[in-house]
Amino acid sequence: MMDNLPSTPGKFKVDKPQYHHHHHHPRQLILRWHHSPLLSKLVVWSILAIASLLAFFLLSPTTPNSSSTSGRRSLRNAAPWGGPAWEKRVRSSARVRRPGGISVLVTGAAGFVGTHVSTALKRRGDGVLGLDNFNDYYDPSLKRARQALLSRAGVFVVEGDVNDGPLLHKLFDVVPFTHVMHLAAQAGVRYAMTNPSSYVHSNVAGLVSVLEAAKSADPQPAVVWASSSSVYGLNSHVPFSEVDRTDRPASLYAATKKAGEEIAHVYNHIYGLAITGLRFFTVYGPWGRPDMAYFFFTRDILCSKPISIFEGPNHATVARDFTYIDDIVSGCLASLDNAGKSTGSGGKKRGSAPLRVYNLGNTSPVSVSHLVSILEQLLKVKAVRNVVKMPRNGDVQFTHANISLAQRGLGYHPTTDLNTGLKKFVRWYLDYYPTSSSKKGSSSAI
């Protein structure tokens, strides 16, 4: 499956911005030199040379904000943006429809968490504008289905990349967003060994691009973004608390999320941006990510394909603090509501602003083998289990969140146990892939 993935997934090249820069026309410069024909000729030639160089760099597929591999996707694949009709859709989607409501730019809106957070915000009357590049790290048709869901809820998703600075600036020009919910990222712990550069591109460069746009915006929004439980890495102090060490990541994915937390400190310190990082603990549920174990275990169990269950050294169990999507959504909304205010404007800091990190977990780790048992019960199909030694490709043996900080700061109280949450996932799965239970031996539905 991994072989089909692009080297840099989803880095859709976006069209050049459609607004105009006001440069002096070259003729205005030339006219001043009309009394000296040689000089004017020289000037004309240098201007032409500079202009063609500029045109080369601006139109080349490897402009600074795109990775070299993204050039494989030609400009014609990009969705156009800009223009009065587009701006109207953007404004309408971002319009607040309740007193005291907030207006949120949600990046990664067609992603798993992004879709749920966007619809929840819209439901309570907040303004929401989505941004997503619809990359093909996993089946883009699932993202399109989520987009349809969002569209029915009144959320417009702009098709573009977080690395596209001009697009972000344009969005902030059109809408004075009060908040940014930055969820766009290259997820997945093990895939980082296959495609390391996509993690740097999305999770490091992409985050910087979003924070750059946010710090320049006037008013500056407060930023809430997705970090990861994986930042705890080799930490063995349980349950994981925000004060524990996070300087020993076990995967490049974790390292890019940890880098993001340090980058957040910089933008808070220099520009007065209010920033909250959320360390999500293995989030699952309806409309989830097909690259996650609970999802592909379900698919594979249904078609009697063997599944690999990892175990640690000396047959130690591997466990995760699986957290249900609705609990995560509550935590995200509470984070937005408690984000505090950015103090700067137009790139200048006016005072200190909050900088926070919260664990959003479930506080009850479950072994992978028990997760499989629950799925077997719900699907009424026995899994073909292969217990294998956990490969050394980034996984940690267990995660367990201490959530007291989020309880105090956000009123975060997860209420869904794994059994209940998986029941809802399986119900959705069988509804979304209706042939999956009858079509034995085929996994083509995904």
Catalytic residues: 253
309 part of the interface to ligand UGA, by CB under 6 A: yes
Binders of ligand UGA in range 314-343 (CB under 6 A): 318, 320
188 part of the interface to ligand UGA, by CB under 6 A: yes
CB atoms within 10 A of CB 22: 5
281 part of the interface to ligand UGA, by CB under 6 A: yes
Nearer to ligand UGA, 187 or 217 (CB): 187
CB atoms within 10 A of CB 328: 27
308 part of the interface to ligand UGA, by CB under 6 A: yes
CB atoms within 10 A of CB 343: 18
Query: Residue 434, SS3?
Result: coil
Nearer to ligand UGA, 44 or 381 (CB): 381
Smallest distance from ligand UGA to CB 424, Å: 17
> Which member of 310, 428, 432, 433 binds ligand UGA (CB under 6 A)?
310
Smallest distance from ligand UGA to CB 127, Å: 28
260 part of the interface to ligand UGA, by CB under 6 A: no
Nearer to ligand UGA, 87 or 395 (CB): 395
* CA angle (391, 234, 421) in 5-degree steps: 75
Binders of ligand UGA in range 353-392 (CB under 6 A): 368, 390
- The beta-strand segments (E) located in 213-370 are 222-228, 275-280, 283-284, 307-311, 319-320, 323-324, 355-360, 366-367
CB atoms within 10 A of CB 51: 12
Q: Are strands 156-159 and 127-132 parallel, antiparallel or unpaired?
A: parallel
The tokens describing 421, both together, are 């949450």
| Nearest of 383, 365, 374, 384 to residue 424 by alpha carbon | 374
Smallest distance from ligand UGA to CB 185, Å: 8
Of 27-35, 73-81, 308-316, 374-382, the segment contacting ligand UGA by CB under 6 A is 308-316
Helical spans, DSSP H, in 323-411: 325-337, 368-379, 404-410
* Residue count, binding to ligand UGA (CB under 6 A): 19
| Nearest of 294, 349, 344 to residue 323 by alpha carbon | 294
135 part of the interface to ligand UGA, by CB under 6 A: no
* CA angle (282, 284, 286) in 5-degree steps: 165
DSSP state of 137: S
**Residue 224 · residue 172 · CB < 8 Å:** no
**Residue 360 · residue 401 · CB < 8 Å:** yes
Lay out the site mask for ligand UGA across 219-258 (x = CB under 6 A, - = otherwise). ---------xxx----------------------------
> Which member of 147, 178, 282, 359 binds ligand UGA (CB under 6 A)?
282
Nearer to ligand UGA, 113 or 157 (CB): 113
12 part of the interface to ligand UGA, by CB under 6 A: no
187 part of the interface to ligand UGA, by CB under 6 A: yes
Smallest distance from ligand UGA to CB 322, Å: 8
209 part of the interface to ligand UGA, by CB under 6 A: no
Residue 27 CB partners (closer than 8 Å, separation 6+)? none
Smallest distance from ligand UGA to CB 228, Å: 3
Point out which residues bind ligand UGA (CB under 6 A).
Answer: 187-189, 228-230, 280-282, 292-293, 308-310, 318, 320, 368, 390, 395
